[in-house]
Amino acid sequence: MTAWRRDGLSVALVPTMGALHEGHLTLMRLARREADRVVASIFVNPAQFGPGEDFERYPRTEAADVAKLASAGVEAAFAPSPREMYPEGFATRVHIDRLGDVLCGAHRPGHFDGMALIVVKLLLSALPDVAIFGEKDYQQLQIIRRFTADLNIPVRILGGPIEREADGLALSSRNRYLTPEQRRVAVTLPDALRAARDAVRAGGDPAAASAKARDAILAAGFDSVDYVEIRDPATLDLVTAPGRPARVFGAARLGGTRLIDNWAV
């Protein structure tokens, strides 16, 4: 990467946790268009998993991932070990107020601090011109925009669109946890959030639309709903009246699997 920079080539970084699917590869292709060289990282970051979450069982498919990256024209893959990223004596944390406290932040304590920590480390290791993240994790994307600006990290942050299955379920490495029956239920999450989006677009009350979506998700067979909320796309403040810029966010649990999704209003 140092040599690329010396030669005046621009670099794009696409961080991932591996178990790559078409959503990740869309980001790689976007990166391809944005820079001369593309680097992908593969790291299941222990710091962003809470106790009882799926760190141990998170799918690890490194050989297949590297092959997919090569066929997407990615020039370099960086797959460090936890020890390399968090050596003995590591003591630093990164915390993001407000943006990190709502939505997933309220349900996964410490998750965004752990995510921000690794993204800061990856950005400062690779020093890319541009770094690309999916809108699938929209809150994460906004948090990354915030801390890179706050910390003067010289990188352009770019969001990529959500890739979905034919029925609308957002692609996710965690979808492979679902049984065939759960997979049939799972599509209710994007369906219900999209219905809420349509209701708010048509001038409906955001709180009523959120409540209706929550009911539909539970009625379809999800075990619990962490949140369905309509929030400002930049500040992530709750939107309480129709006609404002807004995005519908949802997270729900099906067996041991937690799924998230969002739609722009």
Q: Which residues are catalytic, by number?
A: 24
In the complex, the smallest distance separating the C-beta of residue 51 from ligand AMP, rounded to whole angstroms, is 19
Contact between 134 and ligand AMP per CB under 6 A: yes
Contact between 162 and ligand AMP per CB under 6 A: yes
Contact between 262 and ligand AMP per CB under 6 A: no
Nearest to 13 by CA among 116, 117, 130: 130
Question: Near ligand AMP by CB under 6 A, which window of 16-24, 60-68, 93-101, 196-204?
Answer: 16-24
In the complex, the smallest distance separating the C-beta of residue 9 from ligand AMP, rounded to whole angstroms, is 23
45 φ/ψ angles, rounded to the nearest 5 degrees = -85, 105
d(CA 141, CA 162): 12
In this complex, which beta carbon is closest to ligand AMP, that of residue 59 or of residue 242? 59
Contact between 48 and ligand AMP per CB under 6 A: no
In the complex, the smallest distance separating the C-beta of residue 19 from ligand AMP, rounded to whole angstroms, is 7
Kindly state the helix (H) or strand (E) to which residue 211 belongs, with its residue range. helix 206-220
In the numeric block, which tokens belong to residue 55? 């760190």
Nearest to 131 by CA among 45, 252, 14, 234: 14
Size of the site for ligand AMP (CB under 6 A): 17
Q: Which of 27, 118, 236, 246 binds ligand AMP (CB under 6 A)?
A: 27
Contact between 263 and ligand AMP per CB under 6 A: no
In the numeric block, which tokens belong to residue 157? 């942050």
Q: Which of 74, 171, 196, 236 binds ligand AMP (CB under 6 A)?
A: 171
Contact between 128 and ligand AMP per CB under 6 A: no
Nearest to 260 by CA among 184, 169, 180, 197: 169
Contact between 133 and ligand AMP per CB under 6 A: yes
Q: Which residue is nearest to ligand AMP (CB)?
A: 134
In the complex, the smallest distance separating the C-beta of residue 126 from ligand AMP, rounded to whole angstroms, is 15
Helices (H), ranges, 18-136: 22-34, 62-71, 82-85, 104-107, 111-126
d(CA 211, CA 182): 22
In this complex, which beta carbon is closest to ligand AMP, that of residue 160 or of residue 206? 160
In this complex, which beta carbon is closest to ligand AMP, that of residue 61 or of residue 204? 61
Spatial strand order in the sheet of 247-254: 224-231, 247-254, 257-264
Contact between 160 and ligand AMP per CB under 6 A: yes
CA distances from 121 to 44, 80, 117, 193, 243 (A): 14, 12, 6, 34, 39
DSSP E strands: which ranges in 66-187?
Answer: 76-78, 130-134, 156-160
Contact between 24 and ligand AMP per CB under 6 A: yes
Which chain residues interact with ligand AMP by CB under 6 A? Answer: 16-17, 23-24, 26-27, 133-134, 136-137, 160, 162-163, 170-173
